[in-house]
Amino acid sequence: MVAEKFSQHVKGEIPYPLMHVLIENMRSGQRVSQCFLVRLKAQRATRAGDPYLEITLADRSGTLPARAWAEATQRYASQFDEGDFVYVEGRAETYRNTLQIIVESIRRLETYEHDAGKLPGFDPSLLVPTSERPIDEMWGELQDLVASIEPASLQRLTRTILADYETEFKEFPAAVQYHHAYVGGLLEHTLEVASGVSCFATGQPGLRLDHGLVTAGALLHDIGKIEEFKNPIAPSYSFDGQLIGHLLLGRDMLRAGARKISWEDEHLLRLLEHIIISHHGELEFGAAILPKTAEAIAVYYFDNLSAKLNMVRMHISKDGEPGEFTDWHKLLGRKFFKGTVTDAAEGSS
């Protein structure tokens, strides 16, 4: 089993290595004594009325559900919160084909270190799920797309908004849990959508997609998530995010930036706003209005494609069961083939 040296911890006079086993390498039956990031925490009750904690733990390789039953819940429920680095002791087991950790103890890292001694080699980067692609590389590709936008007013607006929120844009996830739910996820997802629509608009002239408008719309379609979420390491919804949502928050951010710019045609700004408030495609999926332009429809479908493919990739990467197909994906309602085209060809021969 692959393991990474997490730090050196001294207990009494006997030094021993504290090994961090990445979530993607954990197996059922394994003892757990290491640090995680708490992504989600909720107190529940069994059918018998006994309290338990439902927790989502994370490291840079992914997330893992955890449960703390009655005794552990009563003892440790108040000793950590969402967004905390924690030290967990327990065991990994499989329940309904899903690996989870049964928690015996869970405390904030600061509390654990106060009681047991410092972990001098503690590296939080091991615990924070992050995009596999280099952030600066993706940001550079995003700037190349901005440079391709015409007219100049549309490019200036896009560049200004992205520059104003550069730090947040590089850090925030694209969602709390379903897709691109990791540091840099918003940037990765936006780049996928914008690259797709830009290439499509250029390569399919017969569709009469306005390249500048559709590219700007793709680059800014999720900008409101910077206001919708808080804490990129352990994201949750902000007050405005709960009450307003990222489509209208993004429209407001767009309008604030547009006041500083002279527009050749005011319709251009409205067309860009329309992409943002309609990019969920259907009213039942949260769109403020149905997409009514070719550019809005294009952003909707590329946005949906990027999200769905990321969900498939993450589901396959987390599946540790034997066989050619994954376990059932609840949201997408199916199993997925885990192999490659070569694997399928060899299997049929």
Boundary (domain end) residue, out of 126, 160, 194: 126
| Same domain flag for 139 and 242 | yes
Which H/E stretch holds residue 94?
Answer: strand 85-95
| Same domain flag for 334 and 286 | no
| Same domain flag for 236 and 338 | no
| Same domain flag for 189 and 218 | yes
Task: Give percent of the chain above pLDDT 90.
Answer: 69
| Same domain flag for 122 and 164 | no
| DSSP-assigned beta bridge partners for residue 31 | 91
| Same domain flag for 160 and 306 | yes
CA torsion angle for 236, 238, 244, 245 (degrees, to 10)? -30
Residue given tokens 């950790």 in the structure block: 101
pLDDT digits (tens, 9 = 90+) for 171-189: 999 998 889 999 999 999 9
pLDDT digits (tens, 9 = 90+) for 29-68: 999 999 999 989 999 999 999 999 999 999 988 889 999 9
3-class DSSP state for residue 325?
A: strand
For residue 270, pLDDT beyond 50? yes
For residue 348, pLDDT beyond 50? yes
Boundary (domain end) residue, out of 74, 104, 126: 126
The total number of structural domains in the chain stands at 3
The arithmetic mean of pLDDT across residues 161-170, rounded, is 97
For residue 11, pLDDT beyond 60? no
More confident call, 138 vs 316? 138
| Same domain flag for 189 and 114 | no
Boundary (domain end) residue, out of 93, 126, 159: 126
- The pLDDT value recorded for residue 231 is 86
The arithmetic mean of pLDDT across residues 301-311, rounded, is 97
Quote the CA–CA distance of 17 and 10 in Å, as a whole number: 8
The two three-digit tokens of residue 13, written as one number = 């006079």
Cα 226 off chain centre by: 13
Confidence of residue 14 (pLDDT cuts 50, 70, 90): very low
pLDDT digits (tens, 9 = 90+) for 187-245: 999 999 999 999 999 998 888 899 999 999 999 999 999 999 998 888 889 999 999 99
| Same domain flag for 11 and 159 | no
Mean pLDDT of the chain, nearest integer? 89
| Same domain flag for 150 and 296 | yes
| Same domain flag for 334 and 257 | no
Domain that holds residue 324: 319-348
| Same domain flag for 267 and 330 | no
| Same domain flag for 12 and 77 | yes
pLDDT digits (tens, 9 = 90+) for 240-254: 999 999 999 999 999
pLDDT digits (tens, 9 = 90+) for 65-114: 999 999 999 999 999 999 899 999 999 999 888 899 999 999 998 887 76
| Domain CATH for 268 | 1.10.3210
